[in-house]
Amino acid sequence: MASTILPTFLFRDLTDWSVVEPNGFPDYRYNDREIVRAFADNSARTFEWLIAQGVVFVDKAPESGGISVGNSVPRETHSAVLDWAMVQTGRPADPMLRGVLSSGEGLMRPLEAAARKAGVQILLEHKMTAILREAPPSGRTLGVAADNKGQAVNIRARKAVIIATGGSTGNVNFRRMFDPRLTEEYCGLAGMPWSNQDASGELAAMAIGASLWGLYNQTGEFGLSITKPGTIGSQFGYAYLRWMPGSPVFDRVRATGLRVADWQDLILVNMLGKRFYDETGGQFTANNHNSIEAYVQGSYRNTKNTKYNPNNFINAALAGIGDGHNGGGPIWAIFDADAVARERWDPNPPNVDIKAGFFFTADALSELAKKIKMQYQRVPMPPGNLEQTVARYNSFVDGGVDQDFGKPRPLHKIAKPRSTPHGPRPSSTTRAQACASTPSARSST
């Protein structure tokens, strides 16, 4: 009995027309019914199959975490990393943590081993460049064309070609079909620089006549990854992943980034050196288990019971500077030596990326504004703007009220000069960094 009821329950959750995020975005309404039906019907079986392939799940009850993984019940489970080398560090996890630490290697490495054992040939360094079809846009699909380090290779399909290239948000022109505001500066997509999500699969499929369905979810306005990355001072700031120097991709990552523990420790300014929102604000919450009061599948009342979160962080960032261009430009975190001490940061390479222009230091605000030059800063930051912004913010700290953006009781002035081995320098020192990261339609956990 359970085997017929439970998939239906899951299917209904994932196609619930009534569910909207607190920003009014319809979460599940546009999901493709046939895909979700297959997903729901095969979910438990897939779980068992993964275990049979050597995947070990952390021994604890499913959680409500993730983003909208379930409304009726918690559904998030975790694969244990075991002794696989982690991509973040290039090393296995601490032996004490291997059975409880959740990481993608614990999913993918056992699958890779099982596939190789079954005789699957995995061609690395082969980029699929086209899907070959008899007489596009019709006829049999024959295989794929690929590029192997400059050498063209055609691979014949015996039964079918399955495209699983990961996504499209790394392709600026492709994502701008859905939202023209998402210009180049949103350059720190979560999968990067490991998987660049360049839309090559989608484009190859469309070139032989495919059309893409269900793209409405691409326009979801979920802002944390675009407005407040998990780390600052580096291009790639995914909140749950820290690239360390031992990582096999660290040469492409360039810097680990600084994690912000308390957004009271800094202000965020746009290209013109002006604040534009409350730095402590968050993104819209997701409709996880228990986030809609008295949730009932398909109920008209769900919308009325959604806990409204009026935060409009992402749209403030994407509004830009009113110069007639798309895109918000880099967002700079401005902070002083006291903030560095409070956060216990070491603002030096390899923690920050000075070379690519994601981090600057100066002894005075005007000097800092003049220094900020990088590929996405399309206009110079007027030094007077930054000075006025910081002076005004410091006056809010004195007065206890952020009169511009309602930050809850601003706590710390930006004033303390940079510390040196010989003591503080005489003039005001600030540091800035660009946080320009690419949002995915649904950011991942």
Ligand X SMILES: Cc1cc2nc3c(=O)[nH]c(=O)nc-3n(C[C@H](O)[C@H](O)[C@H](O)COP(=O)(O)OP(=O)(O)OC[C@H]3O[C@@H](n4cnc5c(N)ncnc54)[C@H](O)[C@@H]3O)c2cc1C
Q: Residue 54 CB, nearest distance to ligand X (Å)?
A: 18
Nearer to ligand X, 105 or 265 (CB): 105
Q: Residue 185 CB, nearest distance to ligand X (Å)?
A: 19
Question: To which H or E segment does residue 420 belong?
Answer: strand 419-420
Nearer to ligand X, 163 or 401 (CB): 163
DSSP-based three-state secondary structure for 201: helix
Binding span for ligand X by CB under 6 A among 80-88, 235-243, 272-280, 373-381? 235-243
Among 128, 255, 331, 339, contact with ligand X (rule: CB under 6 A): 128
Q: Does 394 bind ligand X (CB under 6 A)?
A: no
Torsion 281-287-291-295 (CA) sign:
positive
Separation of alpha carbons 359 and 373, rounded Å: 10
Among 143, 166, 193, 245, contact with ligand X (rule: CB under 6 A): 166
Among 8, 46, 148, 195, contact with ligand X (rule: CB under 6 A): 195
Give the binding-site size for ligand X (rule: CB under 6 A).
Answer: 16
Q: Which of residues 302-321 bind ligand X (CB under 6 A)?
A: none
Nearer to ligand X, 270 or 443 (CB): 443
Q: Does 417 bind ligand X (CB under 6 A)?
A: no
Nearer to ligand X, 170 or 357 (CB): 170
Measure the CA angle with vertex 366, ends 361 and 370; round to 5°: 70
Nearer to ligand X, 201 or 229 (CB): 201
Q: Does 235 bind ligand X (CB under 6 A)?
A: no
Burial 167-184 (b: 16+ CB within 10 A, else e): bbbbbbebbeebbebbbe
Among 7, 22, 110, 191, contact with ligand X (rule: CB under 6 A): 191
Quickly list DSSP for 90-155. SSBPPTTTTTT-B-THHHHHHHHHHHHHTT----TTEEEEEEEEEETTEEEEEEEEEEETTEEEEE
Q: Does 241 bind ligand X (CB under 6 A)?
A: yes
Binding span for ligand X by CB under 6 A among 27-35, 52-60, 187-195, 281-289? 187-195
Nearer to ligand X, 104 or 298 (CB): 104
Q: Residue 101 CB, nearest distance to ligand X (Å)?
A: 12
Q: Residue 126 CB, nearest distance to ligand X (Å)?
A: 6
Say how many residues make up the chain: 445
DSSP-based three-state secondary structure for 173: helix
Among 164, 294, 300, 426, contact with ligand X (rule: CB under 6 A): 164
Quickly list DSSP for 356-406. TTSEEEESSHHHHHHH---TT--SPPPHHHHHHHHHHHHHHHHHT--TTT-
Q: Does 238 bind ligand X (CB under 6 A)?
A: yes
Beta bridge partners of 269: 275, 332
Q: Residue 241 CB, nearest distance to ligand X (Å)?
A: 4
Q: Does 174 bind ligand X (CB under 6 A)?
A: no
Binding span for ligand X by CB under 6 A among 26-34, 135-143, 159-167, 363-371? 159-167
Among 88, 165, 234, 429, contact with ligand X (rule: CB under 6 A): 165
Q: Residue 238 CB, nearest distance to ligand X (Å)?
A: 5
Q: Does 42 bind ligand X (CB under 6 A)?
A: no
Q: Does 127 bind ligand X (CB under 6 A)?
A: yes
Question: To which H or E segment does residue 430 belong?
Answer: strand 430-435
Do 231 and 237 form a contact (C-beta atoms < 8 A)? yes
Report residue 57 as tokens. 């799940």
HSE of 74 in the Cβ direction (CA atoms, 13 Å)? 9
Separation of alpha carbons 258 and 435, rounded Å: 11
Q: Which of residues 70-109 bind ligand X (CB under 6 A)?
A: 104
Q: Residue 136 CB, nearest distance to ligand X (Å)?
A: 18
Nearer to ligand X, 201 or 320 (CB): 201
Report residue 247 as tokens. 């990582």
Q: Does 259 bind ligand X (CB under 6 A)?
A: no
Nearest one of 274, 206, 199, 266 to 231, comparing CA atoms: 266
Question: To which H or E segment does residue 41 belong?
Answer: helix 33-52
Q: Which residues bind ligand X (CB under 6 A)?
A: 104, 127-128, 164-166, 190-191, 195, 200-201, 238, 240-241, 444-445
